[in-house]
Structure 1
Amino acid sequence: MIAGGGPAGMVLGYLLARAGLKVAVLEKHGDFFRDFRGDTVHPSTVTLLGELGLREKFLQLPLTRLSTMDAVVDGKRFTLVDFHSLRGPDNFLVLAPQWDFLNFLAGEAAAFPTFELHMETEATGLIMEQDQVRGVRATGPDGGREFRATLTVAADGRASVLRAAAGLVPDEYGVPIDVLWFGLPKPPDPPPVTLAYVSSRGMVLTIDRGDRYQSGMVIEKGGFDGLEKAGLGALRDRITYAAPFLKTVVGTLQDWDQVKLLSVRINRLRRWHRPGFIAIGDAAHAMSPMFGVGVNFAIQDAVALANAIAADLAVGTAPPEKLAAVQRRREMPVKIMQRLQRGGHRVLARATSGSRVAPRWLPPVLRLASPVLRRVTARFVGVGIRPEHVKPAAPKARRRRPNQRSLT
């Protein structure tokens, strides 16, 4: 039983159903359409989709492929990442609206007869028997019900209800920034695809979505109320100070309802599991938006868990030592990435205080080191630390014929 129909929950549900196991995924919303969610699908995730035979179908979705990642720092353009240096064919990054990705996974998983997706069904508590988790209590369109399971997985995000019900409390790490998200149309003559514009005047993200940008602006932690009091005009000015080319389109921001606040958090559970239960993805470790790795780390957790536990679940057990092994395997990459994100936040905080982000000697050094730097960052960002790979499916896993597809 999996609580949460985000990337971690949907990938895990697909993998367990592919192994012939009965699995229910509970998603509290009626659809997957929520704007300003993580859209970055890294090369390592494209590789995983290839291992599942889903790569080509996925790449037919409306998406943007990026072979490089550029940023403009204090007015100077840098190519920070060059995915061409990775081994093909997955030597590119994909920007795909998360709702498209989740609908795609739901449709593919529904082809397995043992997969159930329960929309508008929210897990509200755990079923406990003899100090072991035996499933969840949930509310849905037909009222309250219970889902009993050998293993319950909390993939219900950074505000996880089930994590709290299991008595697991994450350690919080201080973050000096928040991010405002908003959509902007592209200007008539846009610059090359650019991830971010960074200067002492602020930092603005411009994530390409075809004819528009999913845009963000870094602000100091807790600074939203003051910015809101200053008015939309002040917000528009801050955006164009950092990214002047947006001046012709920033006027489309006419209401604060168009702006969403992401309170950036970094946290991590000391213990991810207890008998019959494990947390993965944001429920185990909330990641910063820096490097766009949250979706991919969640998916890597799901793959590691499926690889470790599927055979045991097939015989009706979920050995605690296997759950502990999953945490040990995934915890090291999470710790390294979160440490790097925390260091990066200290640099980005300078963009919210009017200080120069980069010392004057840094741009020449970056240009000199760029060929090596691009390869290193491509490996680090695109493939990651300890990437997971999908184990072959068990022979008993069978897919429905196309005319038998349905979503439960």
Structure 2
Amino acid sequence: MTCVIAGGGPAGAVLALILARAGVEVTLLEKHADFLRDFRGDTIHPSTLQVLEELGLAERFHDLPHRKTRAIRLWTDRGTADLASLRGLPGNYDYIAFVPQWDFLTLVTEAAKECPTFRLIMKAEAHGLIREDGVVRGVRYRTPEGEHEIRADLVVAADGRTSALRVAAGLVPEELGAPMDVVWFRASRLPGDPDETFLRLSAGHFMVAINRDSYWQLAYVIPKGGFDELKAGGIRALHEPLARLLPFLTDRLGEIAGFEDVSVLTVAVNRLRRWHVPGLLCIGDAAHAMSPIFGVGINLAVQDAVAAANLLAGSLRSGAPIPDSTLALVQKRRLWPTKVTQFAQVVTQNRVIRPTLGGRPPVPPDISRIPVLGRLVRRFIGLGVRPEHVTVQRLSSPTVPLRERRGTFNT
């Protein structure tokens, strides 16, 4: 049987790799010409590192330029504190690896290209569904050359929080709300700068500073819908709080010359009540948009992909029809972890982010000093809720040799 996956992000790429290794004929559609899009989530948590190990990719991953973080630090006007430490986490990985997402996606898709049943089509934007007798039978997509159709036994929507296929299927997410948006930008990093990745909290302001060795990737949190107001004040409206919050960057503020040097993430927290219709399954952000809080979006998406592959690969490989009840099993397995994670994000939004942006920041406890709570937070951030493990057997020789279709198609 065949599977078409729309969206070459973490969920789509990992699912495509596992299915292709199982001998399933998989086509992955990615609407961009490459994976080089800045200011994506780049945190690879221990749960995902374990999945990469199970896929035999841990060594290749660690050959990529990366930086390890074992503790999350908080800087306030009163001093610093440990929010959480991953040291002592069970398993082989007690750190978060910061890797540009384009490197991660290239690693996964290059591994998938080793399978003759996999093909990747770039510059292919999925926008519609082929339906027959109430069942999804394929995808309509466009490339610079025009409109195309591809038929499949299963369609997976992994095309992000604005999923076109989710819309085409008539699936509408339930909005849980978010009080903020995020302005992303970068500044060069110099000798003598802090070495750690940290959160910066002050009355009316919240920032994240990620050490990228040669530069800082910076996130400035603003009230929901507040970017136009920020722009109206000119670039100095951004420079001034930066100089106060991160004084070591004062001499580099000129690198952020205007608002063309920043990107804006419109934060959303939502989830579908139903992740599937006959012939179609939504995973990752298409099923549940996550807040950037805790940096777990990539890892939830990868866990969705692993669970979906574990539950669907056997039927796809054997040619057995996939009933809607089987797609429902994927949702059933991943819905509870999604709900728990989003609950924690919403609580943090309401009790930390909202009062901080309103000028009334609480004083977060040094969680690492509270043993039981510290262990819970460590596992929650590092492993997540219900971590998944790859159980799909890799075939030594795929059952459907499609070597003429192997590789990347850049239409």
**TM-score category by the smaller chain?**
over 0.9
Q: Displacement, 1:396?
A: 4.9
The answer for the alignment partner of 1:348 in structure 2 is: 353
Q: CA deviation at 1:244?
A: 2.6
Q: 1:81 to 1:398 in 2, by over 3 A?
A: farther
| Correspondence 1:279 to 2:282 | yes
Bigger Cα displacement from structure 2, 169-178 vs 78-87: 78-87
Deviations 1:291-348 (A, max 9, x none): 0010000010000000001111123322211110110110001111111111111221
Give the match for residue 382 of structure 2: 382
Q: How does 1:313-328 map to 2 (within 5 A)?
A: 313-316=316-319, 317-328=321-332
- Residues 31 and 199 of structure 1: CA distance in aligned 2, closer, same or farther (over 3 Å): same
| Ranges in structure 2 where 5+ consecutive residues have no aligned partner | none
Q: Show the counterpart of 2:336.
A: 332
Q: Please tell me the residue identity of whatever aligns with 1:238.
A: P
Q: Distance in 2 between matches of 1:194 and 1:5?
A: 28
Correspondence for 1:172: 175
The answer for the alignment partner of 1:407 in structure 2 is: 408
Equivalent residue in structure 2 for 1:107, among 104, 110, 113? 110
Q: TM-score, normalised by structure 1?
A: 0.94
Tell me the CA shift for residue 120 of structure 1: 0.5
The code of the aligned residue for 1:8 comes to A
- In the alignment of these two chains, the number of paired residues is 400
Deviations 1:336-395 (A, max 9, x none): 11111111112212222222x124xx55xx378345444322211000100000014243
The AA in structure 2 aligned to 1:66 is T
**In structure 2, which of residues 95, 98, 103 is the aligned counterpart of residue 92 of structure 1?**
95
Any residues of structure 2 matched to 1:2-401 within 5 Å, and which? 2-316=5-319, 317-346=321-350, 347-355=352-360, 357-359=361-363, 363=365, 366=366, 369-398=369-398
Question: Shift of residue 261 of structure 1?
Answer: 1.1
Secondary structure, counterpart of 1:94 in structure 2: strand
> Is the 1:71–1:194 contact (alpha carbons within 8 Å) kept by the matching residues of 2?
no
Q: Distance in 1 between matches of 2:271 and 2:204?
A: 32
CA offsets per residue over residues 42-91 of structure 1, 9 Å max, x none?
00100000001110111100111112221113332112222221124211
Question: Which is worse superposed, 311-320 or 267-276?
Answer: 311-320
SS at match of 1:271: coil
Task: Please tell me the residue identity of whatever aligns with 1:266.
Answer: V
Give the residue type in structure 1 aligned to 2:231: E
1:187 and 1:57 map into 2 onto residues whose CA distance is 29
Query: Root-mean-square deviation (CA), in Å?
Result: 1.8
* Aligned residues of 2:367 and 2:373 also touching (Cα < 8 A): no
Mark the CA change 1:372 to 1:213 in structure 2 (over 3 Å): closer, same or farther.
farther
Would the aligned equivalents of 1:194 and 1:206 in 2 still touch at CA under 8 Å? yes
Distance 1:295 1:247 in 2: 32
- 2: CA distance, partners of 1:38 / 1:397: 35
Partner SS state of residue 391, structure 1 = coil
Stretch deviating more after TM superposition (204-213 or 2-11): 204-213
Q: What CA distance in whole angstroms lies between the structure 2 residues aligned with 1:367 and 1:43? A: 20
For the 8 Å contact 1:80–1:370, the answer to whether it is kept is no
| Percent identity over paired residues | 46
* Cα shift at 1:201: 4.1
Deviation at 1:29? 0.6
- Range with greater deviation from structure 2 (79-88 or 14-23): 79-88
One-letter identity of the residue aligned with 1:383: L
Structure 2 counterpart SS, 1:31: coil
Look up the SS of the partner of 2:87 in the other structure.
Answer: helix
1:185-229, Cα deviation, whole Å (9 max, x unpaired): 124311230321111041111012111111011111111111111
> Comparing 136-145 with 296-305, which one deviates more in the overlay?
136-145
CA distance, structure 1, for counterparts of residue 91 and residue 335 of structure 2: 28
One-letter amino acid matched to 1:269 = L
Shift of 1:249: 2.1
Is the CA contact 1:202–1:241 (under 8 Å) kept in the aligned structure 2? no
- Distance in 2, matches of 1:146 and 1:98, equals 29
Give the 3-state SS of the residue equivalent to 1:127 in structure 2: strand
| SS at 1:407 equivalent | strand
CA distance in 2, matches of 1:270, 1:137: 25
How many Å separate the matches in 2 of 1:192 and 1:286?
Answer: 31
Query: What SS does structure 2 have at the residue aligned with 1:30?
Result: coil
Task: Provide the secondary structure at the position in 1 that maps to 2:305.
Answer: helix
